[in-house]
Amino acid sequence: MFASISNAQMDASVLKDIESIENQVIDWRHYFHQNPELSNREFKTAERIAEHLASLGLEVTTGVAKTGVVALLQGENPGKVVALRADIDALPVTERNDLPFKSEVITTFLGQETGVMHACGHDTHTAILMGVASVLSQHKDKINGTVKFIFQPAEEGPPPGEEGGAKLMIKEGVLSKPDVDAIFGLHINSGTPVGTIKYKPGGTMAAVERFVVNVQGKQTHGSAPWAGVDPIYISAKIIDGFQSIISRESPLVEEAAVITVGKITSGVRFNIIPESAELIGTVRTLNPQMREMIIKRMTEMAADIAKAYGGTATIEWQNNTVVTYNDPALTAQMIPTLQSVAGEDKVVLTKASTGGEDFSYFQEEVPGFYFFLGGMTPGTSEAFPHHTPDFMIDDDGMLLGVKAMTQLTLDYLNAQ
C-alpha cells in the first residue's frame, strides 16, 4: 500500500518559483515547436534539454535509447525514487495555422516529403518537465529521496527497422541505478479546457497494434479485369470485412475497440490492374481477450477473403503499446495532490481512450500514474484533434502542468 498524504496547499516559495518560470517554459515550448524532430532523430531537442539540465547542476546522461536524456536530482534527505517522464518527438505532419512560432521544417519520411510538426503536444510536455526540473532543483531541502527526469524519444514509434521509445529506455536500464519506485506522466489535450485535469484509475489508454496486409493478385489490363485478379478490389473487401469484426463480433458494451486502415498502396497507372496491394493500419483495444480475438479474426479474414476472390493475403503484426494502466492505489493517493493544485471541481474522472501511449511500458515495470492536462482556450467552439495540421494548444495550460508535476513529486516523496 502507498502512504497517505495530506491535501495541503503548495509551499509559498515553491509556488512563487513556478509562477516566475512560466514565461521561460512558454519560450522553451515555442523553440521546440519551431524546431520539431521526428522519432529517433531528436538531436537538437536532446542537446537543448541536456544543456538546461546540466546548468541546474543535475547528473545528466545523454544518448539513452538513441536520443533520450535522463537526469538525477538528489534531495537533501534520503527516501524513495520517483521518475517524471516527458516525450520529445514530433510527427510527419505539415502545420496549417498562423501561429508566430509555426513549424516550417520539411523532411523526408518513408520516402515522402513532409512537414514536421509537434501535432500532439510533446513540445509542451518537454517544456513543462524542464520547468519542473528548474523548480525542484531550487528546493532540494524539501525533497526526501531522488527525482529521475526522463526525456523520452520516439513515443510515436521508431522508424521501421529501428528500436526506440520507452521499450528501449527500459531495456537500457532507465528504471534502475537507482531503482524507480513510481513514475508520473501527463499528456496535454486540445479538447480539454485550460485549468482542467482528467484522469482514470486502471486502464486509461489502449493497447496499440500496427498491422500490414500484403495482398497478392494477378496483373492485367484495366480493360480486361477477368484476365487477372484485382488486389485493389480484394483490399476493399478485406477493409469492409475488418469493420464487421468490430460491429458484429466485438462485445463493445465491455470495452471500446477500433480497427483503422490508414494507408493503402497499390498500382502505378489508371489502366493497369496491379499485381499487389499493401494495407497498413492500427488496432486499438482495452480488453486483453478482445485483443486476442480481433487479431485472430483479422488474420483469418484477410487470408479467407483474398482466397474467395482468387488472390492471397498475409498479415504482419507489431505491438506498439500495451494498455496504459494507472495503478489504482497510487492514483488514489495522488488525486488529493491534483485537487490541491487545480481545485477539486477541476479534477475530473474520465473514460478510457482508444489512443495509445508507450508510457504503458514503464507502468508494466513500476506503479505509474498518467493524467490529462487541459490545453484548450476556454470558450473555444472547435478543438482540432491531435495528429492533425490544425492542432493547437494554449500556452496558458502549461503552468498547471508544472504545478501538478512538481507537487506530485514532493507529496509522493514526502508521504508518511
Could you say which of 281, 310, 339 is where a domain stops?
Answer: 310
> Does residue 154 belong to any structural domain of this protein?
yes
> Does residue 211 belong to any structural domain of this protein?
no
55/141 same-domain check = yes
Phi then psi for residue 380, to 5 deg, are -65, 135
Mean pLDDT computed over 184-212 = 97
pLDDT at site 381:
79
234/189 same-domain check = no
pLDDT of residue 6 exceeding 60? no
Is there a contact between 320 and 209 (Cβ–Cβ < 8 Å)? Answer: yes
Neighbours of 54 (CB within 10 A): 14
Q: What is the 3-state secondary structure (H, E, C) of the chain?
A: CCCCCCCCCCCHHHHHHHHHCHHHHHHHHHHHHHCCCCCCCCHHHHHHHHHHHHHCCCEEEEEECCCEEEEEEECCEEEEEEEEEEECCCECCCCCCCCCCCCCCEEEECCEEEECECCCCHHHHHHHHHHHHHHHHCCHHHCEEEEEEEEECCCCCCCCCCCCHHHHHHHCCCCCCCCCCEEEEEEEEEEEECCCEEECCEEEEEEEEEEEEEEECECEECCCHHHCECHHHHHHHHHHHHHHHHHHHCCCCCCCEEEEEEEEEECCCCCEECCEEEEEEEEEECCHHHHHHHHHHHHHHHHHHHHHCCCEEEEEEEEEECCEEECHHHHHHHHHHHHHHHCHHHEEECCCEEEECCHHHHHHHCCEEEEEEEEECCCCCCCCCCCCCCCCCCHHHHHHHHHHHHHHHHHHHCCC
74/173 same-domain check = yes
For residue 273, what is the domain's CATH number? 3.30.70.360
24/115 same-domain check = yes
pLDDT at site 382:
84
> Does residue 316 belong to any structural domain of this protein?
no
Among residues 37, 95, 123, 155, the one annotated as catalytic is 155
328/198 same-domain check = yes
> The whole model's pTM is what?
0.89
pLDDT at site 380:
86
* Structural domain harbouring 234: 218-310
182/294 same-domain check = no
Query: How confident is the model over 298-353, as pLDDT tens digits?
Result: 999 999 999 999 999 999 999 989 999 999 999 999 999 999 999 999 999 999 99
Among residues 89, 255, 358, 411, the one annotated as catalytic is 89
pLDDT of residue 1 exceeding 60? no
Closest CA to 357 of 191, 186, 195: 186
The yes-or-no answer on residue 364 being catalytic is: no
279/403 same-domain check = no
> Does residue 3 belong to any structural domain of this protein?
no
293/373 same-domain check = no
> Does residue 190 belong to any structural domain of this protein?
yes
> Does residue 397 belong to any structural domain of this protein?
yes
Count: domains in the chain: 2
Could you say which of 310, 335, 351 is where a domain stops?
Answer: 310
Query: How confident is the model over 255-295, as pLDDT tens digits?
Result: 999 999 999 999 999 999 999 999 999 999 999 899 999 99
Query: How confident is the model over 33-44, as pLDDT tens digits?
Result: 999 999 999 999
pLDDT of residue 2 exceeding 80? no
229/196 same-domain check = no
For residue 376, what is the domain's CATH number? 3.40.630.10
Closest CA to 348 of 204, 195, 197: 197
Query: How confident is the model over 12-71, as pLDDT tens digits?
Result: 999 999 999 999 999 999 999 999 999 999 999 999 999 999 999 999 999 999 999 999
pLDDT of residue 7 exceeding 70? no
Amino acid of residue 275:
E
193/290 same-domain check = no
The yes-or-no answer on residue 292 being catalytic is: no
> Does residue 6 belong to any structural domain of this protein?
no
pLDDT of residue 227 exceeding 90? yes
Could you say which of 310, 340, 365 is where a domain stops?
Answer: 310
pLDDT at site 8:
55
186/65 same-domain check = yes
Query: How confident is the model over 98-150, as pLDDT tens digits?
Result: 999 999 999 999 899 999 999 999 999 999 999 999 999 999 999 999 999 99
pLDDT of residue 87 exceeding 80? yes
112/77 same-domain check = yes
> Does residue 7 belong to any structural domain of this protein?
no
